[in-house]
Amino acid sequence: GFLPLQGHIVRNWKVRWFVLLQDKLLYYKIEGGKKEPSPKGRILLDGCTITCPCLEYENRPLLIKLKTKTNTDYFLECCSREERDSWALDITGAIHAGHPVQVQELHRMKNSFKLLENISLHDIVERMYDSSTGIKLTRNLDQGNRYKETFTGSALVDWLISNSFAVSRFEAVTLASMLMDENFIRPVGVRSTEAMRSSDPSEKFLDDSTALYMFAESSKKNTSSKEEVHFNISELSGKIVKQGFLVKQGHKRKNWKVRKFVLRADPAFLHYYDPTKEENKPVGGFSLRGCLVSALEDNGVPAGVKGNVQGNLFKIITKNDIHYYIQASSKAERVQWIEAIKPLT
């Protein structure tokens, strides 16, 4: 699948097509909408160590870090926590192929706590923001520094249990750690910041009345105009239904680029992001109301499509008659996207 990878010499991000084999992870360049025949590079998994979640980049909370036995670091970014954990599990399985007990233990840890059905982390954060029933925000002092709109680790654990998102303090700490991994909340002050650097995932979030946290959005300055902020909030407020990397044809140059697509409902919008950029802002998007979506045949290049594309194409026509040509990584993925989009049109 597609994953953004950080370069070794120039520390920028490039999207590559990754193929996991038993002993190595190959990555390929995409040119003109098609995977090049020879890999651009390879990561040898023998003696490799994996860090997941990796919190070395504040603006990229969904990273996997691989360190080879020659001490070369690779940073790979995923679209969602589920995708990240799935890649990490499969890569770990390949690394420890000769040690099935370690793989079983990883499966057990990943499955030890699951969110309630029909509840997402976005839903929890939305409830946390509620002015009457949400988490209470207070001013706090930590080693001479004053922080506005913060809450303590123990207060969040209490809130998660009282709102039935968790049944025990252990589950609440696990859930709070997920919120931190996904960059919904962030530590502030010495105690909580130091804990986040712990190598033990169970000790990254502190159930403590002296450990301070705040909403990640509270620490970012808004530079947009009031009108633009209102417009963005209304478009981006819908519940995320599906997200993933797809290849999209440009409107002007007709070149093909990998974009991170995010499908939202209520309101129904499809936005796409440049995964090589640091800022998490859409580079485009459109309302799905009145749209038509359909698969395109793989035998031959349809009219309107440029380049020798890989296949698995589908087309979205907006109510303003704008045509979007999009390429999935497989027929199954194309079907999944079309079935997710159709009910929202």
pTM of the complete model: 0.64
Using one digit for the tens of pLDDT, what is the confidence trace for 149-166?
899 999 999 999 888 888
pLDDT reported for residue 230: 38
Measured between alpha carbons, how far is 86 from 80 in angstroms, rounded to an integer?
Answer: 10
For residue 281, the one-letter residue type is K
Given 1.10.10.1100, 2.60.120.200, 2.30.29.30, 2.40.37.10, which CATH number is that of 233-342? 2.30.29.30
Alpha helices in 144-290 (DSSP H): 153-162, 169-181, 190-196, 226-236
Backbone angle region of 32, left / alpha / beta, with phi > 0 → left and psi within -120 to 50 → alpha: left
Q: Do domains 121-219 and 233-342 have the same CATH topology?
A: no
Using one digit for the tens of pLDDT, what is the confidence trace for 170-215?
888 888 988 887 778 988 888 888 887 765 666 788 988 888 999 8
Domain at 121-219, CATH class: mainly alpha
Average pLDDT over residues 294-301: 76
The CATH architecture assigned to 2-111 reads Roll (2.30)
Using one digit for the tens of pLDDT, what is the confidence trace for 11-54?
889 999 999 998 899 999 988 778 888 999 999 998 899 888 78
Residue listed under structure tokens 């070794």: 8
Domain boundaries, the chain: 2-111, 121-219, 233-342
